[in-house]
Every structure is written in structure tokens, then in C-alpha cells.
Amino acid sequence: KRRDVKRVQVSTVQEALIMACEMESSAVQLYTRALNLMRQLGRQGEALYEGLDRLRRDELEHLRQFRALCGEDGVAPERRMALAAAAQNVLFEGGLMGAARQGLLESVERMLRFAMRCEAISAQKYREFAAIAENPSAREALLMIASEEDRHLGVLAAQNAQYKKEGVFNEP
């Protein structure tokens, strides 16, 4: 029977930061993949392309901030691997590969919806991680980045609504 790695509990802020790093790394990969898809479709002139590139840069900055907070964390390599595996499943079962197998990365429309879901989950997780953070700097960073993820969700949702209004998307 498969174990639900999504439910791995973090017991320290260091463990939370390790998971946050993995989640941000996945976000960078997602936005890079979305940009590549838009280029392949010849849609790099659209506002969404510039918006996704800006979000990708934001996620890279979040990753840098989380890594700086992690420093030398003293987490055992085996535990680090378990946390990394769990983090891959936070946004979608099976990580980006699982999302690809489900067809969520095949079209701009599906990828946009998937990105919206990822931003919402990330914001929620970072707030959960902040609640266990005893270090004020770590708590502040987690809450700040959660707010930025909320902003990202708003940007993506607005673009999604605009595309629906314009009839760009065909799926319901």
C-alpha cells in the first residue's frame, strides 16, 4: 500500500524551509515549462508570456531567500530526502511529472489553471510553516512570500478571466 507522502509532518522551521525550497524549485520549473510552451505556440507576444516570466523571476527570488534562511540546517540527509520527496507531492501527486501525465501541462489553458492551483496551495503551506516558525526572520519571510503567492494567484486569475472573456480558451 502506498504511503501518502503529502502528509509528512515538518517538526522544525528548518524542515519547513527545505520543503519551501523544493516547492519554489518546482514553481520555477513550471513557469519555465509554460514559457517554453508559449514560445512553441508562437504566443510570446501575449501579456501572459511577460507575466509568466515575471512570476518565474519572483519564484527564483523566493528560492534564493529560502535558501539563505536555510543555511547549515543540520537536517540528516535521509530526512532531507524524505522532505524533498514530500514537497514534490504538495502541489500535485507525483509532482510536475504527475501533472504532465494527467495532461495539465499540455495547453496554455490547463497550465494556467494548474499554476493557479499551485500558487494557492503554496500560499497556504507557507502560512502553515510560518505558524511553527520560532525564528522571527523565517516567520516574516514565509508570511511575506505567502502574500506574494496570493498576488501571483490574482495575476493568473485575472489573465484566466480575460482569456475566457475573449474566447481564447475553449475548455469549460
Please give the chain's pLDDT, 172 residues, in tens: 233 334 557 778 888 888 899 999 999 999 999 999 999 999 999 989 999 999 999 999 999 998 888 876 677 888 888 888 888 888 888 888 888 899 988 899 999 999 999 999 999 999 999 998 888 888 999 999 999 999 999 999 999 999 889 988 765 5
> What's the confidence (pLDDT) of residue 35?
95
Q: State how far the Cα of 28 lies from the Cα of 58, in Å rounded to an integer.
A: 9
**pLDDT at position 5, please?**
35
Let me know: does 145 contact 126? Beta carbons within 8 Å: yes
Cα 155 to Cα 118: distance, rounded to the nearest angstrom: 13
pLDDT score of 58: 95
Rounded CA-CA distance 72/68 in Å is 9
The phi, psi pair for 74, rounded to 5°, reads 70, 10
- In the chain, which ranges are continuous DSSP H helix? 13-40, 47-70, 77-91, 95-101, 108-132, 136-166
Q: What pLDDT is recorded for position 1?
A: 29
Please tell me the predicted confidence (pLDDT) of residue 85: 85
pLDDT of res. 73: 67
The confidence score (pLDDT) of residue 3 equals 34
DSSP string, 48-81: HHHHHHHHHHHHHHHHHHHHHHHSS----HHHHH
Look up the pTM and report it: 0.86
Give the closest residue to 80 by CA, choosing from 137, 144, 146, 10: 10
